[in-house]
Amino acid sequence: DGGITQSPKYLFRKEGQNVTLSCEQNLNHDAMYWYRQDPGQGLRLIYYSQIVNDFQKGDIAEGYSVSREKKESFPLTVTSAQKNPTAFYLCASSIRAATSSLFSGANVLTFGAGSRLTVL
Amino acid sequence: QKEVEQNSGPLSVPEGAIASLNCTYSDRGSQSFFWYRQYSGKSPELIMFIYSNGDKEDGRFTAQLNKASQYVSLLIRDSQPSDSATYLCAVNPFTGNQFYFGTGTSLTVIP
């Protein structure tokens, strides 16, 4: 079955440590995203990538880094510079990299199951 | 800033009633609109999307879009306790590939 796999599901980090969250998709989607969700809040975009070897900062990129070496993979590193990293992290993908026509109904965002990061 | 606004609720309806969830957006260039359901501790799942003015029905769910008023809504008919969740409205502008989310509306269906 096609989908998005995030790992680990739960992760605990000590202060000062970097941690990397994995995201793999087999949907053949061009675009991939990382969102952060805090309790009672909506989704905030950290980074997104429209094509291999290219990515853009979202609204809250500080303290995070990403890479896109393969179409299927978009790992997120939470660095020690991120002062409040405890949150629910969601990876997502969408089929098309650029919206170039009015046929935008197919450009649906599909989510992985999420990774919950807790700082000890 | 492309804003998407939702009433955070909580919204409570009795089982079998119609639940009405509302969303407004600021970017007039927005083209696609999505409703996601998110159960506590889980990731969002797509309920439906709409990109033409008017209504779109899928089972018990109806999405309504009014681009002139920059307003999109979701109606849930015959609400069930299993519909109790947070509903997220998302908007995709015509250009670019970002999706902008509201903060979500918490719905509780009372048996």
Q: What is the pLDDT of residues B72-86, one digit of tens each?
A: 999 999 999 999 999
- CB distance B43–A114 less than 8 Å? yes
Number of H helices, E strands in chain A: 0, 11
* B84 to chain A, closest Cα gap in Å: 15
pLDDT band at residue A102 under the 50/70/90 scheme = very low
Say which range, A21-25, B49-53, B56-60, has the weakest mean pLDDT.
B49-53
B28-42 pLDDT, tens per residue? 888 889 999 999 999
B3: tokens are: 């804003």
- CB distance B103–A107 less than 8 Å? no
pLDDT band at residue B2 under the 50/70/90 scheme = low
Whether cis (ω within 30° of 0) applies to the bond prior to A8 is: yes
Average pLDDT score over residue span A9-32: 93
Average pLDDT score over residue span A17-37: 95
pLDDT band at residue B56 under the 50/70/90 scheme = very high
Residue A96 confidence (pLDDT) above 90: no
By Cβ distance, the residue of B49, B94, B97 closest to A31 is B97
- CB distance B34–A108 less than 8 Å? yes
B→A contacts (Cβ < 8 Å), by residue, are 8, 31-32, 34, 42-46, 49-51, 88, 90, 92-99, 101-104
- CB distance B98–A107 less than 8 Å? no
- CB distance A107–B42 less than 8 Å? no
By Cβ distance, the residue of A42, A45, A108 closest to B46 is A108
Residue B60 confidence (pLDDT) above 50: yes
Share of chain A above pLDDT 70, in %: 91
Beta carbons of A30 and A51 less than 8 angstroms apart: yes
| Residue B83 backbone phi and psi in degrees, to 5 | -80, -10
The residue to which tokens 């291999």 are assigned:
A52
Residues in contact with A101: Cβ distance below 8 Å, sequence separation at least 6, in sequence order: none
Residue A100 confidence (pLDDT) above 50: no
Average pLDDT score over residue span A23-38: 94
